[in-house]
Amino acid sequence: MRIGIANDSPTAAEALRRAVALGTEHQVAWIARTGADAVRLCRDLPPDLVLMDLAMPVLDGVEATRRIMREAPCAILIVTAAPQDNVGQVFRALGAGALDVTATPVLLGRTDGEAALLAKIRTIGKLIAGAPAAAASAAVPPPPAASGPPLARLVAIGASTGGPIALARVLARWRPPADTAAVIVQHIDAAFAGQLARWLGEQTAVPVRAIAGGEPVEGGVVHVAASDDHLRLTPERRLVYDAHPRDEVYRPSIDVFFHSVARYWTPNATGVLLTGMGRDGAAGLLAMRQAGQATIAQDEATCAVYGMPRAAAELGAAGKILPLDNIATALG
């Protein structure tokens, strides 16, 4: 992969350059010292991936990400010091189109930061290459006799690139009623998933909770997956985590959760697939539709990245294809 580095700190930029050099299959394409330079270099010398800092001169990392995704789209990984102290900026950058976030490795000292960064780069490389998702449905055991759902309805929402902002906009317009549970699977590092739940709760009037694992779905509440393991719905309508399938590129996988909803919930469920790179969620959304459940995909015009919803549309998985701001109305 050809990797661009956008960081105005010479020390941080050198730490990133050395970390990239450890992966012999990667090369540094360029180093930008301002957000504006990063936008220009993405346009003139397109990289496969940009390692984008948040605190950048001229244009900060959020605005640079937004402009790159509009003018010269490419994969962007937010790499910044103490990302946990800049949660608002992190989620705005993810909403603008960044794929993930990790901490900047130090130049001298511990090497776990370099390992974490290279792991993120490898995963993004698989996404860029279009690595196929594992067969999520194969890992789900045959359903037992139905015992009847404790709630009237379940809304299952999957999102990836651009998802945090899209989720906040949907939840600002829609609140699950007392007989409806909502569950979100967003592609995000587990270290930030709990913060995503808190941030969404701050953006909306909806009660939002990170899923610990093992709890039942609850009406009037938005549950958010908070692990790198896959989220599943059990026959008893509980939310549990499962490390399998281990070779699944997307963690947590939207497909895995949607398939479990198709098996274990009554037809009165709705699947929603929002903006994101790749194809995760498309096959699961199709399974939900084939099970008689309602399905919605975000339209191209309002997606930060029209990947997952496009795949769903191509499969015939989406009963409705809607602009983002119309999805809340469709949920009722």
- Residues catalogued as catalytic: 160, 187, 280
Rounded to the nearest 5 degrees, what angle is found at the Cα of 289, between the Cα atoms of 283 and 294?
Answer: 125
Identify whether the C-beta of residue 124 lies closer than 8 Å to the C-beta of residue 26: no
Three-state secondary-structure class, residue 3: strand
CA dist., res. 318 & res. 255, Å (int): 14
Strand 230-233 and strand 2-6: the pairing is unpaired
> CB 160: neighbour CB atoms within 10 A?
28
Cβ density class 113-140: b for 16+ within 10 Å, e for less? bbebbbebbebbbebbeebebbebbebb
Of 39, 118, 117, give the one whose Cα is nearest residue 73. 39
DSSP-assigned beta bridge partners for residue 80: 103
Q: Where are the alpha helices (DSSP H) in the chain?
A: 10-22, 35-44, 61-71, 87-96, 112-128, 163-173, 190-203, 254-264, 282-290, 308-315, 324-331
